């Protein structure tokens, strides 16, 4: 990982290939730029924008996605993705992809028989289904209540090296509450939308977002 101040750290994650074979295969592809990354198609073209400027931007993003898929076969990877949410002592959400990957269809994480729980520091999991984007969650191990994570997430591994970095991430300053002007609050998001990344005023966009940008600069598979 790398922060906006230029500091770089390293985390090594061991994956439970037997307990979560489908999800682990997806994660390994997302970490493996050398072999093309995770291959997925583009989301359907969004033609719902009201303002012409917004629609032109949406068209540009879609066309760029189509070009990258058809001409280069570029797969999605975690390189230059971000740590996008840190709820202290509860969860660290990692792997929000950026740029040309925003318009790609996310994977559908499913495992039928995975009994593993968030019962130790450094547990790594992915959100069940396709609503969690491409990212994964690191459990910092400080919360006594993990039933919600156990229900919504699939445990896929744990941190083998770099728990000191996890502790640092767990303590970084974050936005405690976003601007809110009344009415019902939106439910917490599973993954950041494109609108959130580009300055939407929605309540959920900034809450628990790190005050400094934190990037995953490079990923890979250790043999």
- Name 75's Cβ contacts closer than 8 Å, sequence gap at least 6: 29, 33, 36, 37, 38, 39, 40
- Number of structural domains (the chain) is 1
Does a structural domain hold residue 95? Answer: yes
Domain membership flag for residue 54: no
pLDDT surpasses 60 at 17: yes
Residue 49, in any domain of the structure: no
pLDDT in tens, 44-57: 887 887 888 888 88
For residue range 96-114, list pLDDT tens digits in order. Answer: 887 768 888 999 999 888 8
Q: Is 101 helix (H, G, I), strand (E, B) or coil?
A: helix
Question: What CATH number corresponds to the domain at position 158?
Answer: 2.40.100.10
Q: Residue 23: exposed, middle, or buried by beta-carbon count in 10 A (0-12, 13-18, 19+)? A: buried
Range of the domain at 105: 2-40+75-216
| Inside any domain, residue 136 | yes
Whether residue 153 is contained in a domain is answered as yes
Q: Is residue 50 part of a domain?
A: no
């Amino acid at each position: 990982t790398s922060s906006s101040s230029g500091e770089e750290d390293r985390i090594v994650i061991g994956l439970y290939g037997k307990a979560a074979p489908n999800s682990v295969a997806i994660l390994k592809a997302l970490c493996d730029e050398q072999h093309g990354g995770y291959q997925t198609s583009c989301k359907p073209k969004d033609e719902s924008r009201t303002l012409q400027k917004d629609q032109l931007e949406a068209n540009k993003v879609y066309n760029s996605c189509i070009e990258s898929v058809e001409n280069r076969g570029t797969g999605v990877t975690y390189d230059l993705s971000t740590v996008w949410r840190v709820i202290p002592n509860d969860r660290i959400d990692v792997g929000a992809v950026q740029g040309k990957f925003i318009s790609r269809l996310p994977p559908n994480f499913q495992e039928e028989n995975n009994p593993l729980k968030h019962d130790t520091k450094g547990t790594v999991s992915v959100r069940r289904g396709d609503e969690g984007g491409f990212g994964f969650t690191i459990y910092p191990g400080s919360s006594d209540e993990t039933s919600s994570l156990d229900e919504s997430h699939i445990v896929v591994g744990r941190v083998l090296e770099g728990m000191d970095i996890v502790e640092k991430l767990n303590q970084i300053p974050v936005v405690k509450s976003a601007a809110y002007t009344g009415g019902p609050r939106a439910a917490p998001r599973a993954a950041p939308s494109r609108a959130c990344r580009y300055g939407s005023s929605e309540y959920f966009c900034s809450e628990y977002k790190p005050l400094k940008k934190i990037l995953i600069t490079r990923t890979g598979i250790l043999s």
